[in-house]
Structure 1
Amino acid sequence: MQFIYLHGFASSPQSAKAVYLRDRFAAVHQTLQVPDLNQDDFTQLTLTRQLQQVSAQLPTDEPVTLIGSSFGGLTAAWLAEQYPQVQKLVLLAPAFAFLSHWLPQLGTEKIQQWQQQRYLMVYHYGEKRSLPLSYEFARDVPQYNDDHLLRPVPTLIIHGIHDEVIPIQVSRDFAVKRSWVQLIEVDSDHALGNVMPETWQAIQTFCQLQ
């Protein structure tokens, strides 16, 4: 089994979660691959580009467990839908219905400005600075309808009940319609920073890591 971690939107392989989980996997003698989904070009990021990048790295003859955080979780879910070698999913506060929650936070005026000027300045936590994001990002996401995620891949979702970015109700709605999804609700926010030991324990159990 190969393990691949997909970081979140405007994040990086050096994020606190990525580093923590990579260390935990190493402690049980497993390698956690953490590709850089920014590809040195955050400006042209789209969900389609992330899917193409990761799918090219999937082995053809070995099962894979994908662990995805937020937008990386959404990416992981779509990869599992399309590639049979993805045998298990761990989704940390997955960004289902991403645009419907993110765009209202920007406000109508900022969205119109983004459309007209084609680029929006977004704070990038990995780079610790604001970077331009093409409007193509917003045009690309709607072609992926979460309702079409129906391949029965054993899935563990861990989601904070105080998530201020992607409400936990999104994961509840996703899980209730899919018998193969296990949802663990934790006393945390979107980052899950205060529950990482519990998160690791759940991942260890789900992935049968000794």
Structure 2
Amino acid sequence: MERAVKKILYLHGFASSAQSTKARYFGKKFKAFQVEFHAVDFNPTPRDFEYVTTTGLINRLRQYVLDHHLGNISIIGSSYGGLIALHYAHCFGGVEKMLLLAPGLTWLSGGLAEEALEQWKKAGAAPVFHYAFEQEIPVRYGLQADGLCYLEPVPPAAPITIIHGYNDKTVPIEPSRVYATDFPDSVRLIEVDADHDLNGHLELIWEYAHSFLLGTE
């Protein structure tokens, strides 16, 4: 009896894209398996990024799943993509497993200075360099206003493996440690000697993606 094709979605981080190093790496790796792999692009145009909000991305992901008739899925969420994954699963269900890479478990997990927030609010937008578009884009303050709805982590709606670098200065590891401690039956934390991007640990990440998401462990 043939195994059912697994459907795995990759959610990129903030100011990244579906063509990121990790997205392309996973796309190549999963080709050897019975996997329908989707790297979701949350920012197809600069204007999408200008008006991005967390709620908007959760809803966009829902529409993507419905449009592609995906049914039950597993998710790989990188950084900000981890926040989207957690809240999508919490709101809509249908998620079998989540592999989260240096995830932001809450909005602005890495923090932002109060002065910078005030300047952003006053100006209405703040320039952010987008790596895929290779340019600065004025991101509207609506992102921060909407983000206030996501200041507390939601309980895991599916089994989760987190891989997080203990040298991460962008999204510190401590919230991941607390989350794994609070939900020991659902969350496993793998700590690695790395900073935020984790690109030096792709082979290790693949080992967990293969064993955890494809059910070989």
TM-score by length of 1: 0.92
The range that moved more, 93-102 or 177-186, is 93-102
Whole-angstrom distance in 2 between the partners of 1:151 and 1:166: 19
Other-structure match for 1:23? 28
Number of residue pairs aligned between Structure 1 and Structure 2 = 206
Other-structure match for 1:172? 177
Other-structure match for 1:47? 54
> Is residue 7 from structure 1 mapped to residue 12 from structure 2 by the alignment?
yes
Return 5+ residue gaps in structure 1 as ranges. none
Whole-angstrom distance in 1 between the partners of 2:143 and 2:127: 13
State the Cα RMSD in Å.
1.7
Return 5+ residue gaps in structure 2 as ranges. 1-5
CA distance 1:35–1:187, change in 2 (3 Å): same
Question: Helix, strand or coil for the counterpart of 1:98?
Answer: coil
Other-structure match for 2:116? 110
Whole-angstrom distance in 1 between the partners of 2:41 and 2:157: 27
Q: How does 1:22-101 map to 2 (within 5 A)?
A: 22-40=27-45, 41-59=48-66, 62-101=71-110
- Specify the code of the residue in structure 1 equivalent to 2:72: P
Whole-angstrom distance in 1 between the partners of 2:82 and 2:159: 14
Contact 1:22-1:31 at 8 Å conserved across structures? no
CA distance 1:170–1:27, change in 2 (3 Å): same
Other-structure match for 2:3? none
Whole-angstrom distance in 2 between the partners of 1:110 and 1:183: 32
Question: Helix, strand or coil for the counterpart of 1:101?
Answer: coil
Contact 1:98-1:166 at 8 Å conserved across structures? no
The range that moved more, 57-66 or 69-78, is 57-66
CA distance 1:66–1:100, change in 2 (3 Å): closer
Contact 1:80-1:87 at 8 Å conserved across structures? no
Contact 1:61-1:85 at 8 Å conserved across structures? no
| Among 112, 123, 133, the residue aligned to 1:127 | 133
Deviation at 1:28, TM superposition (A): 2.4
Whole-angstrom distance in 1 between the partners of 2:109 and 2:29: 34
Whole-angstrom distance in 2 between the partners of 1:103 and 1:13: 26
The range that moved more, 189-198 or 200-209, is 200-209
Deviation at 1:29, TM superposition (A): 4.2
Q: Identity of counterpart residues, as a percentage?
A: 34
